[in-house]
Structure 1
């Protein structure tokens, strides 16, 4: 276990609007000791945060699922804030492990401490963290091939996809028989299923696949609605529902592009954004394998080199570098508060990154370019003190 202290930020914020000053002040209110790093025993392959409690679950390549509970926090140094209010996690972690055979992919129930897992064993296991990951339900041979994606879609149903492109949904309230549990099955894809997402009303389910297409399923009617046109920008690796009133569906592609679908028009994408072209010395073939929404208009991605970046959807801008691993980033997720991003990498480290500034930011397409530029600069000053120094130096020279 190791911890590295982030540098203190400048005392004098630029004389901008109150909103830009607020971004700096929110960052200075906490006594930052991030990123925190926890050394894992084995190479991780997937992680998920519980949406109701400070737990992160990590699965490794040997099928061992570890539950880590971070129960200590950094208290705010600001006198105006409640000293008992939790801000950022410390390195005090308690680990509970449970060995399953080849369960690599995880997801959690939004309203309980239950976990669903699947992998090369072709079986689905529901376990409860409060009982030490004791299996509650096991659906044996749920798929004919290895499971490549899982999603706990609502309180009663889980959705899984396999390496042959098959999508299945199971009702966890039924008996142990997989056939009785199955809600629907669709065999529309020709490539491996990679990710699932859905709207907040849990009416529509979106699924991405390596055949460069996205499926839209009416979950309530158990009806397959449509499959998008194949993309020419690589395999679809992830899918998110974003935007105001969930008006956009965003897909990450293997060559570093982001494809955007408008609400109600999921057959053809409206925009394709090469986001990695905005990076210095960026390569067009960087794999956009992991994506997580931080807000309505902000999302985080990782590249093949272990770097984690934050982008705004509209306008398409790189906001800041959130953090990095020495080797590739295997997975990352937002914790239950929405203010801390937890990542695991091939360097066997679990890291915690403060993204509270990004979660509270309001970068909108309708604003002027100057206002948007000031907002982005304020965010970068919070994450990179060196950038703040050179930005102030540039402003003083320009004056």
Structure 2
């Protein structure tokens, strides 16, 4: 295995990534009278100021030569897998001191469209525009199983369910379930209920249901135990882009191409129970951070944190120059990584969110004090622009 240092951003960019903006440094006007701030808002601002005063430790950015199509953290080791448009998957060892390129796997003849590790971390699953699925041994870097022409049209997303099962969804709305223990290249279940691409797949810990979002605006649910179709939601007028589970898997969060967040109660997948307009730009992906907090990524290049119960905007976690396409969280929950159209991957330290878990605020005087709500992981100096497009 060849080990070499990864090409990182210029020194000045890396240094700026490790810095954070102090709220007090960016405010020239007189402090708001404390009588105008309720206790809850005071508390969250206090915590943000405290965190801004600390050094945010996280790995430096990674800049790739080719367009990044997907990223995936290893479930146990400090390894990040990166899929690209050339059909390769590159493995990096990440740390605060620097990132090391471990191996470059040439897997597909066309673009790699999605990657995911098995739950035990032994295998890496990858899908491609060439309609194939490759299963690679992580330790040896060798291919141990592949499915040629796994879909009639290119697969769009892939999700590892356990050590043996994984699911794929394609551009035509077909969902397939695979078992690596089956000797043949046949799927163990297939379903066609959607008219557009399958954008994301998620399941609960007990593997009761498989939830699939689609570009046709419908949430499709499969009963994994009975291996049969369960229910399909009412159709939305916009694309459903990403899924997440919250509140001990009792709530399902669905993002849309118009910047909305739809809430579904578990086992009630036919109609959403609530809706929250997060922003005016498309939400490209999301990641659960705690039982109540989600980080959402947008076409405008911003990562934004939202407290779900109750619905509260917390602020900017970080930002890219171009649209963010991929988001994942590491094995210990300390970092999230995001990739953008700029072929860059940035790491964000999110440990401070544990302190915000029970904090709420009413955001009165929002227009006057909106610039104070950037989060410690963001180096943005003028975050008022972020809040200008929120309702």
Q: Do the aligned partners of residues 24 and 210 (structure 1) sit closer, same or farther apart at CA in structure 2, a change above 3 Å counting?
A: closer
**1:124 CA drift (Å):** 1.1
Partner of 2:194: 189
Cα deviations across residues 277-307 of structure 1 (Å, max 9, x unaligned)? xxxxxxx3x2212111111111111221211
5+ residue gaps, structure 2, are 1-7, 25-33, 385-391
Q: Do the aligned partners of residues 266 and 7 (structure 1) sit closer, same or farther apart at CA in structure 2, a change above 3 Å counting?
A: closer
**1:23 CA drift (Å):** 4.3
Cα deviations across residues 176-221 of structure 1 (Å, max 9, x unaligned)? x222xx2211111111111001112221110001110001111122
SS of residue paired to 1:6 = coil
SS of residue paired to 2:149 = coil
Q: Do the aligned partners of residues 381 and 188 (structure 1) sit closer, same or farther apart at CA in structure 2, a change above 3 Å counting?
A: closer
**Which of 134, 138, 141 is the equivalent residue of 1:125?**
134
SS of residue paired to 1:265 = coil
5+ residue gaps, structure 1, are 73-88, 277-283, 391-399
Partner of 2:117: 108
Partner of 2:30: none
TM-score by length of 1: 0.80
Q: Do the aligned partners of residues 111 and 361 (structure 1) sit closer, same or farther apart at CA in structure 2, a change above 3 Å counting?
A: farther
SS of residue paired to 2:139 = helix
Check if 1:292 corresponds to 2:310: no
Partner of 1:7: 20
Question: CA contact under 8 A between 1:9 and 1:28: conserved in structure 2?
Answer: yes
For 1:10 and 1:303, the matched residues in 2 are separated by 24
Partner of 1:206: 211
Q: How does 1:356-395 map to 2 (within 5 A)?
A: 356-363=351-358, 369=362, 380=374, 382-383=376-377
**1:359 CA drift (Å):** 4.3
**Which of 132, 156, 161 is the equivalent residue of 2:169?**
161
SS of residue paired to 1:350 = strand
**Which of 93, 102, 106 is the equivalent residue of 1:99?**
106
**Which of 230, 233, 236 is the equivalent residue of 1:228?**
233
Partner of 1:38: 62
SS of residue paired to 2:283 = coil
**1:32 CA drift (Å):** 2.5
**1:113 CA drift (Å):** 3.1
**1:231 CA drift (Å):** 0.8
For 2:361 and 2:314, the matched residues in 1 are separated by 16
Partner of 1:279: none
Cα deviations across residues 336-364 of structure 1 (Å, max 9, x unaligned)? 11121111112121111111112453147
Partner of 1:146: 154
Q: How many residues align?
A: 353
Partner of 1:271: 274
Partner of 2:185: 178
Partner of 1:78: none
Partner of 2:90: 66
Question: CA contact under 8 A between 1:255 and 1:288: conserved in structure 2?
Answer: yes
Cα deviations across residues 130-184 of structure 1 (Å, max 9, x unaligned)? 112x112111221111001111111210101111111110111121x222xx221
Cα deviations across residues 33-91 of structure 1 (Å, max 9, x unaligned)? 55721221211111111121111111111111111111x4xxxxxxxxxxxxxxxx332
Q: Do the aligned partners of residues 378 and 162 (structure 1) sit closer, same or farther apart at CA in structure 2, a change above 3 Å counting?
A: same
**Which of 252, 257, 260 is the equivalent residue of 2:263?**
260
Check if 1:137 corresponds to 2:145: yes
Q: Do the aligned partners of residues 26 and 96 (structure 1) sit closer, same or farther apart at CA in structure 2, a change above 3 Å counting?
A: farther
**RMSD of aligned alpha carbons:** 3.1
SS of residue paired to 1:174 = coil
SS of residue paired to 1:36 = coil
**1:377 CA drift (Å):** 10
Partner of 1:328: 323
For 1:296 and 1:268, the matched residues in 2 are separated by 22
TM-score by length of 2: 0.81
Question: CA contact under 8 A between 1:194 and 1:208: conserved in structure 2?
Answer: yes
SS of residue paired to 1:136 = strand
SS of residue paired to 2:105 = strand
Q: Do the aligned partners of residues 160 and 385 (structure 1) sit closer, same or farther apart at CA in structure 2, a change above 3 Å counting?
A: closer
Check if 1:218 corresponds to 2:255: no
